[in-house]
Amino acid sequence: GAVVSQHPSWVICKSGTSVKIECRSLDFQATTMFWYRQFPKQSLMLMATSNEGSKATYEQGVEKDKFLINHASLTLSTLTVTSAHPEDSSFYICSFISGGNHNEQFFGPGTRLTVL
Amino acid sequence: EDQVTQSPEALRLQEGESSSLNCSYTVSGLRGLFWYRQDPGKGPEFLFTLYSAGEEKEKERLKATLTKKESFLHITAPKPEDSATYLCAVQVRGAQKLVFGQGTRLTINP
């Protein structure tokens, strides 16, 4: 399957600071990428859909000014958590859709964010 | 509203004890049903995509099947390394995003 990387794999920050998470597709150019959040023992919740060169589409209840998404190229998307608070602590996972007719979605390894 | 329900929430099996995980779905129109495996602290790993009722796919000890209302993930003679959370997700016709179920935490005891 396709390879997706995320950086960093974990981060600890103080409340009020901003954190940027990078997601890269290593062997495929992705026009569409997704960002998910996962709380302990819960399933994945879609936060937003990111299309290269255009603004991201956010799911209901997700603050677009707090979770900034940039999909500047076909291989890189970033999620910036601005003015992070303890309730933003979670596991953030990116994914992208493969090409062709299969429309399969491949996920990154995730980033564990802890806000103190 | 599109919904995905997985059962059971958790399942403990002895090594070699075969079983099935269920994924029931209600969608306006199914484009595809996906199965993923997720280990603790890691992202989901793609297993299968099923597109139409009657379709089956196999990979090692796993076999996924699909009907118009549900999908099963059959695990045959499981090993401890098969322990993980198994996630089911649907993609609705005309959309790209996935709607996930809550997952089944599978534990295989040696």
CA terminus-to-terminus distance, chain B: 41
CA distances to B33, B74, B92 from B56, rounded to whole Å, are 12, 11, 19
Q: Residue A102 pLDDT > 80, yes or no?
A: no
Residues of A with CB under 8 A from a CB of B: 1, 4, 6, 32, 34, 42-44, 46, 49, 91, 93, 95, 97, 102-110, 112
Nearest-CA neighbor of B38 among B89, B85, B102? B85
Asked whether the beta carbons of residue B42 and residue A102 sit closer than 8 angstroms, the reply is no
Average pLDDT (A54-61) is 91
Asked whether the beta carbons of residue A108 and residue B41 sit closer than 8 angstroms, the reply is no
- pLDDT attached to residue A31: 80
Q: Residue A99 pLDDT > 70, yes or no?
A: no
Q: Write out the two tokens for A42.
A: 């819960």
- Select the more confidently predicted residue: A1 or A19: A19
C-alpha distance from B78 to closest chain A C-alpha (Å)? 23
CA distance A29 to B97: 18
- pLDDT attached to residue A1: 63
CA distance A52 to A74: 6
Are B33 and B52 in contact by the 8 Å Cβ rule? The answer is no
> Model confidence at A49, in pLDDT bands (50, 70, 90)?
very high
Asked whether the beta carbons of residue B100 and residue A107 sit closer than 8 angstroms, the reply is no
Residue that is written with structure tokens 């534990």 in the block:
B107
Residue of B nearest to A90 (CA): B41
Q: Over the stretch B1-17, which tens digit does the pLDDT of each residue have?
A: 889 999 999 999 999 99
Tell me the count of A-B CB pairs closer than 8 A: 50
A32-36, A52-56, A96-100, B101-105 — most confident range: B101-105
Q: Residue A101 pLDDT > 80, yes or no?
A: no
What are the strands of the beta sheet with A67-73, ordered from one edge? Answer: A4-7, A19-25, A76-81, A67-73
- pLDDT attached to residue A17: 96
- The per-residue pLDDT of chain A, averaged, comes to 90
Q: Residue B71 pLDDT > 90, yes or no?
A: yes
Specify burial of residue B83 (Cβ count, 10 A radius: 0-12, 13-18, 19+): middle
A61-85 residues labelled b (16+ CB within 10 A) or e (exposed): ebeeeebbbebeeebebbbebeebe
